[in-house]
C-alpha cells in the first residue's frame, strides 16, 4: 500500500486543509463537538452556509442535487482532514441516509420537497427501523401499515430511535403484507413526526444522557404519496446508499486524539491527587492503546483502498467497526485506571470534568449500535474466513 498522496490528492488535501484553517468556527477545544453543535446557534448556521456553498454538506451527492460529486478517495481525504481539525459535519441522517435514498428512489415531487430542506438544515430526520423484538433481525419487524383510501394507517412501535425527540421527519419501515416472506411485504415510508398518534418517549442512557427514544404509532395516517419506491419493496430500498467512503477514518483519528487528551492530562497532573493512585500497569496500558489506535487507522486505510479500486468492502468494514468500537471501550477503561479512585467522580469539579467516567459508561453501547460485535464477528467468520454457518 502506498500511503503517499498523488499530486492531485495532495492538491485536494491542501485545499481542504486551507479552508479549515481559515473558515472553521472557533470552539472550546475541551467541548465535545456534538455539545458544541447543540450550543452553536449562529455560528453553526454560518458554518453550514460555508459548507453548502462548496457542496460539502453532502459531498457525495451529485452536483445537480447540491453535492460536490466527490469520489470516495476525495471524501476520505476530506473526512480525514475534518477529523484532524476537529471540524463538525452538519448533515446528519438527512445527508448520510435518507438523502441518498431519495436521490435514487424518490420521485421528483419527493426530491423537491425534501432534498433542499435537508441541505439547508431546515429539517432533522430520524430512522424508524429497530423494534423491541427486531434488532439484529430487522426483517422480522411488526409495525403494521394498512391501506385506507389515500392513506396508510400505522400501528406499532420503534425503539432506540436516535434524535426522535428533536426530529421533524422519520424515514421508516413498516409491514404492509403480513403473509409475505419476512424480507418482502415491507414498505418504506416518509412520516411527519407531527402527525396525530405519534408519541415519543425518552430513553435515558447510563451517562444520564438523552439521545435514544422509543416511538409509538397509534392509528397514524401517512399519505400514500409518502411511500418511497414500490409498496412491499421497502427492504431493498432501505439498503440503498450512494458511493460513500466507509473507512471510518474519523473514528480512527478520534481515538488517537482522545488518547492525546488523556496523556496530556497525565503529564500535566502527574503526582497530584487526581492521578496519585494510578498504577504503573495502568499507565503502561496507554502504550498498547497508542499501537491499537494506529492499527485502527491502518484498517481504515485498508477499507478505502478497496473502495478506491472499485470494489465493495464487506468483512473488511466489519473488522474496522468491530476493532474501533472495542478500542473505544479499552481506552475508556485505561483512562479510569490512570485516574484511580477519582475516576468515580463526575461533574465540573472532577478530573477532566468527568470525561473519563462519562466515556466509560457511554462506550458500553458502542459495541451494540450499528451492528453488534457478535454480528460483526459472524460476518468476518462467514464472509471473510469462509467458515460455515452454525
Active-site positions?
245
Query: Is the dihedral angle over the CA atoms 259, 265, 271, 277 positive or is it negative?
Result: negative
The torsion angles phi and psi of 209, rounded to 5 degrees, stand at: -105, 160
* CA dist., res. 181 & res. 236, Å (int): 13
φ/ψ bin of 220: left (φ > 0), alpha (ψ from -120 to 50), beta (otherwise):
beta
DSSP state of 27: -
Q: Do 359 and 347 form a contact (C-beta atoms < 8 A)?
A: no
User: DSSP H helical segments within the chain, as ranges?
Assistant: 7-23, 33-39, 42-53, 72-84, 92-93, 99-105, 108-120, 234-237, 249-269, 280-308, 315-339, 355-362, 373-379
The torsion angles phi and psi of 98, rounded to 5 degrees, stand at: -75, -35
> 38: which strand partners?
none
What is the DSSP code string of 279-313? -HHHHHHHHHHHHHHHHHHHHHHHHHHHHHTT---
Amino acid at each position: 500500500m502506498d500511503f503517499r498522496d498523488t499530486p492531485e490528492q495532495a492538491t485536494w488535501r491542501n485545499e481542504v486543509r486551507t479552508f479549515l484553517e481559515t473558515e472553521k468556527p472557533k470552539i472550546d477545544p475541551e467541548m465535545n463537538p456534538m455539545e458544541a453543535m447543540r450550543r452553536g446557534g449562529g455560528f453553526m448556521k454560518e458554518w453550514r452556509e460555508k459548507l453548502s456553498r462548496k457542496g460539502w454538506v453532502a459531498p457525495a451527492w451529485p452536483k445537480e442535487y447540491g453535492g460536490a460529486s466527490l469520489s470516495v478517495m476525495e471524501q476520505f481525504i476530506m473526512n480525514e482532514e475534518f477529523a484532524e481539525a476537529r471540524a463538525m459535519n452538519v448533515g446528519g441522517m438527512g445527508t448520510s441516509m435518507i438523502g441518498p435514498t431519495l436521490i435514487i428512489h424518490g420521485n421528483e415531487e419527493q426530491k423537491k420537497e425534501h432534498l433542499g430542506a435537508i441541505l439547508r438544515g431546515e429539517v432533522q430526520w430520524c430512522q424508524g427501523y429497530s423494534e423491541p423484538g427486531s434488532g439484529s433481525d430487522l426483517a422480522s419487524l411488526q409495525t403494521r401499515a394498512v391501506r385506507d383510501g389515500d392513506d396508510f394507517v400505522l400501528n406499532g412501535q420503534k425503539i432506540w430511535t436516535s434524535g426522535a425527540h428533536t426530529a421533524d421527519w422519520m424515514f421508516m419501515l413498516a409491514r404492509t403484507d403480513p403473509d409475505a416472506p419476512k424480507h418482502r411485504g415491507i414498505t418504506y415510508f416518509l412520516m411527519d413526526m407531527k402527525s396525530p398518534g405519534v408519541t415519543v418517549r425518552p430513553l435515558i442512557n447510563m451517562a444520564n444522557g438523552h439521545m435514544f427514544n422509543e416511538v409509538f404509532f397509534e392509528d397514524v395516517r401517512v399519505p400514500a404519496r409518502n411511500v418511497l419506491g414500490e409498496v412491499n419493496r421497502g427492504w431493498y430500498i432501505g439498503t440503498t446508499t450512494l458511493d460513500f467512503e466507509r473507512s471510518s477514518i474519523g473514528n480512527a483519528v478520534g481515538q488517537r486524539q482522545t488518547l492525546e487528551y488523556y496523556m496530556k492530562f497525565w503529564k500535566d497532573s502527574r503526582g497530584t491527587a487526581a492521578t496519585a493512585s494510578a498504577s504503573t500497569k495502568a499507565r503502561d496500558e496507554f502504550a498498547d492503546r497508542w499501537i491499537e489506535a494506529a492499527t485502527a487507522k491502518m484498517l481504515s486505510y485498508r477499507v478505502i483502498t478497496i473502495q478506491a479500486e472499485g470494489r465493495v468492502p464487506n468483512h473488511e468494514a466489519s473488522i474496522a467497526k468491530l476493532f474501533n468500537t472495542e478500542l473505544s471501550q479499552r481506552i475508556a477503561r485505561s483512562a479510569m485506571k490512570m485516574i484511580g479512585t477519582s475516576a468515580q467522580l463526575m461533574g465540573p469539579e472532577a478530573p477532566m470534568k468527568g470525561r473519563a467516567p462519562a466515556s466509560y459508561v457511554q462506550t458500553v453501547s458502542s459495541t451494540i449500535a450499528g451492528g453488534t460485535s457478535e454480528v460483526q464477528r459472524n460476518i468476518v467468520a462467514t464472509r471473510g474466513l469462509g467458515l460455515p454457518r452454525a
